[in-house]
Structure 1
Amino acid sequence: MRGVRVPGEGGGDHPPRDLPYGERRLEFLWHKRRWWRREASCPRKSFTEQIPQIPAGTRLTERLRCAAGRRARDAGSTVVQAARDLGLSWPVVMDAFRAAAARVIEAPLPEVRVLGIDETRRGRTRWEQDPDTGKWQLTRDRWHTGFVDALGTGGLLGQVEGRTVADVLAWLSTTPLAWRKTIRHAAIDMSATYRAAVRAGLPDAIVVVDHFHVDQLANKMLSMVRRRTTAETRGRRGRAADPEWKARRRLLRNREDLTDEQFAKMWNPLLDEGEIGQILLIAWIAKESLRTLLALARTGADREQVGDARWKFLTWCADSDIPEVRTVATTVDRWWPEIAAFLDTGHSNAKSEGINRVIKLVARNTFRFRNADNQRLRTRCVTTRRAREHLRTA
């Protein structure tokens, strides 16, 4: 397909690259005019015609450049794939993507009521040995901390490298004070570092820890007890013929999800096994007592019932003489104000976990990122795509 040839004096054919028609490339011809100035005092003696779509000195149309940037920003395409589809080079598409992503980065942050804070692993840490002292030092922390609109549709609000209190406060200091004052709750996992950062950077926000992480902590405790008791009693790792190994999956399931037959298959062999089975059943009862406590609090039971269930759980764990069970009880007791805040509000960091999954998928599609800045730029654009579409349709 050929464009209209505009005749003129002193001009030449200028072949700018344009968007393809499907898989077919278009041949776009433009015969430009050259204009000469008669004023001797003018430093510019001549100039050629230009339009906003084809500025002077460019070989690409603006719609082709914008399409390349949008493919990497909104369509989930990698820079390499966008360059292959459009017949461009990697640096050209990357520059177009940076220009398109700048509109996302420079846009004002949406109003956030619940801020989700969570970390995601970028890769392995890098250690280097000091040639003078011989000590190994951490040169790069491969963790990223993400800030998410946990209640609205804002998506990923920002990312920083690292997961320390200083890293979180550094990002919060870049946001407007009026924006930080609108945050009422901060949803995190059971991380003392993030709790300390929220208390320092967002003193008016209430820290919330959802029940998912509490249940996860109890299940991890049960698995640790099973592995430790097997190693101490049998002197080896668990095997398929061991009763505790056969019951490992049923131990992690909720009691209400087990039929009577399944419960008997779990309970009776462990009870007959002796010390290993008895220790596992004590830990399992502690896990179910914790779940009962959380269920009572979620259903809106009065404080007397919740307090009684909490006392029973802590007493059972204290009398168990199992170090892992006592550790879980201590952790739950220390985090109870944050857990109770979730039971009252229902706010969780589920969106933070979902966005972490998207971040890992983006890194997997690109066979990992070598540049941390490019990774944060790509993930910010991918995770806020739905929010931008919502704003366009609103």
Structure 2
Amino acid sequence: MAKPTFSTPDLTTFCRLDTLDLTCIGQHITGHKAILECRPNTADDWCRRCGGHGIVRDTVVRQLAHEPFGHRPTTLHIRLRRYKCVECGRVWRQDTTAAAPPRAKISRTGLDWALRALVIDHDTVSVIAAKLAVSWHTANSAVLAEGQRLLINDPTRFDGVSVIGVDEHVWRHTRRGDKYVTVIIDLTPISEGTGSARLLDMVAGRSKQVFKQGLKDRPKEWREGIDVVAMDGFSGFKTASAEELPDAVEVMDPFHVVKLAGDALDEVRRRVQQETTGHRGRAKDPLYRARRTLHTGSSLLTTKQQERIANLFADPNFTEVEVTWAVYQDIVSAYRTTYRKEGKRLLQTVIDALTTNLPSELVELKRLGRTLKRRAADVLAFFTRPRTSNGPTEAINGRLEHLRGSALGFRNLTHYIARCLLESGGFRPVLHSQLR
């Protein structure tokens, strides 16, 4: 700002009291709090029952938590006149609904600040309550209700969704009650390259019926607009998607395909370990020492790691591990190819090889082959649907884990779903645009 223009200091404007139809008439500042004495701008001296004129009877003070300025919690002391109607005797006080709803304890601008702190700055409710100088329950109830009204209940929130991801999520680690929920993620911005994924919905439970009911609750027009569903290997999600979204393409995430191959590699390594040594892996056992190296992509192996792999497979007792490791590397290489058509061809070759004339001794590979053949269409669909992955779904799951850790756990699932939607529902751009 080269040539700023300064106006007369005005505490009413600085503290945004003019938006609440209030005027600041005094202040009291201590080291721990700030109190602003205010009065309404509107007289409100006529009776709403008979239309008669009211005379001043006395004054009362209404206290409201306000957005903090600096490090001190700010409280509004609104001095209200009480009137008595000269005609019918009715008694009322000045209207302050512009400042806060009836019986509310937080002003409208304070509530707006708290919602932004929760969604944009990722503050916990405890921190927000401390900055507003109210109880945790007061802050939590008010902020969740405002977030539900302003953001979560927005009818346009589900518009424009064409690609979704689905996954399970553990919302609490207790022995009582169902600890799983099914999360539905909007992957459309990722697919179109316009933004990041966002949490769309969260349904209690983890099953085919839960996901199916979550889809059934949405309008038919919305379901018909879904083109792609990204998911893991859980067959329940696959069946529910096929029944409720018959025109959508199911895509099995590459991470889970590689994980299936990695699990097969671990299983055969443990089995061969037991067969050759008679005990579980120990620090000096070759197979145990190479357990992490076996999961490293061949193109990323260092010289030392390549020598370790070569020395390991020089032992004829480890032939089954070598064959499984080769299949694992082929699957990884298929996903790392530059050209998708080539990657699809390589992965199709692996699936065909695992389901044709495979030796019966390779139990783990035969099981892997049956799984990949059953989900072959979903696995290969990744190569025809660019930018479709369940990776962003897993990323949002990680953000929800962080949220639960910051809040030291949740006991109320309704509160947890609301907090998760505010945390990862993609509302930050909405609030930023309102700031401008």
Q: Is the 8 A contact 1:16 1:58 kept in 2?
A: no
Q: Which moved more, 1:227-236 or 1:71-80?
A: 71-80
Q: Which of 361, 384, 394 pairs up with 1:344?
A: 384
CA distance in structure 1 between the partners assigned to 2:347 and 2:138 by the alignment: 62
Q: Describe the shift of the 1:206–1:125 C-alpha distance in structure 2 as closer, same or farther (beyond 3 A).
A: farther
Amino acid in the other structure paired with 2:167: D
Amino acid in the other structure paired with 1:376: I
Shift in Å at residue 349 of structure 1?
Answer: 1.2
Q: Describe the shift of the 1:39–1:355 C-alpha distance in structure 2 as closer, same or farther (beyond 3 A).
A: same
Q: Which of 172, 175, 186 pairs up with 1:149?
A: 186
SS, match of residue 300 in structure 1:
helix
Q: Describe the shift of the 1:71–1:290 C-alpha distance in structure 2 as closer, same or farther (beyond 3 A).
A: closer
Shift in Å at residue 113 of structure 1?
Answer: 1.2
TM (norm. structure 1) is 0.86
Match of 1:21 in 2: 69
Q: After the TM superposition, which residues 258-277 of structure 1 pair with which residues of structure 2 at under 5 Å, given as runs?
A: 258-272=301-315, 274-275=316-317, 277=318
| Unmatched tracts of structure 1, length 5 or more | 128-139
Deviation per residue, 1:219-238 (Å, 9 max, x gap): 11111111222123322211
Residue 324 of structure 2 corresponds to residue 283 of structure 1: yes
Q: Which has the higher strand share?
A: 2
Q: Describe the shift of the 1:37–1:255 C-alpha distance in structure 2 as closer, same or farther (beyond 3 A).
A: same
Match of 1:98 in 2: 144
Q: Which of 72, 76, 79 pairs up with 2:118?
A: 72
Q: Which moved more, 1:190-199 or 1:109-118?
A: 109-118
Match of 2:5 in 1: none
Q: Is the 8 A contact 1:209 1:339 kept in 2?
A: yes
Deviation per residue, 1:282-331 (Å, 9 max, x gap): 21122123334555695323987775554345447x12622111111111
Q: Describe the shift of the 1:302–1:369 C-alpha distance in structure 2 as closer, same or farther (beyond 3 A).
A: closer
CA distance in structure 2 between the partners assigned to 1:393 and 1:345 by the alignment: 37
Q: After the TM superposition, which residues 1-394 of structure 1 pair with which residues of structure 2 at under 5 Å, given as runs?
A: 1=27, 2-3=36-37, 9-19=56-66, 20-26=68-74, 28-40=76-88, 45-51=90-96, 52-54=98-100, 59-102=105-148, 103-108=150-155, 109-124=158-173, 126=175, 140-152=177-189, 153=196, 155-272=198-315, 274-275=316-317, 277-294=318-335, 298-301=339-342, 308=349, 310-315=351-356, 318-319=358-359, 321-346=361-386, 347-384=388-425, 385-386=427-428, 388-389=430-431
CA distance in structure 1 between the partners assigned to 2:264 and 2:80 by the alignment: 75
Number of aligned positions between the proteins = 376
CA distance in structure 2 between the partners assigned to 1:271 and 1:64 by the alignment: 70
Amino acid in the other structure paired with 1:81: V
Q: Is the 8 A contact 1:36 1:46 kept in 2?
A: yes
Match of 2:49 in 1: none
| Unmatched tracts of structure 2, length 5 or more | 1-26, 28-35, 44-54, 190-195
CA distance in structure 2 between the partners assigned to 1:150 and 1:286 by the alignment: 30
CA RMSD of aligned residues (A): 2.8
CA distance in structure 2 between the partners assigned to 1:141 and 1:59 by the alignment: 35
SS, match of residue 35 in structure 1:
strand
Match of 1:136 in 2: none
Q: Describe the shift of the 1:345–1:48 C-alpha distance in structure 2 as closer, same or farther (beyond 3 A).
A: same
Q: Which moved more, 1:355-364 or 1:307-316?
A: 307-316
TM (norm. structure 2) is 0.78
Q: Describe the shift of the 1:154–1:349 C-alpha distance in structure 2 as closer, same or farther (beyond 3 A).
A: closer
SS, match of residue 319 in structure 1:
coil
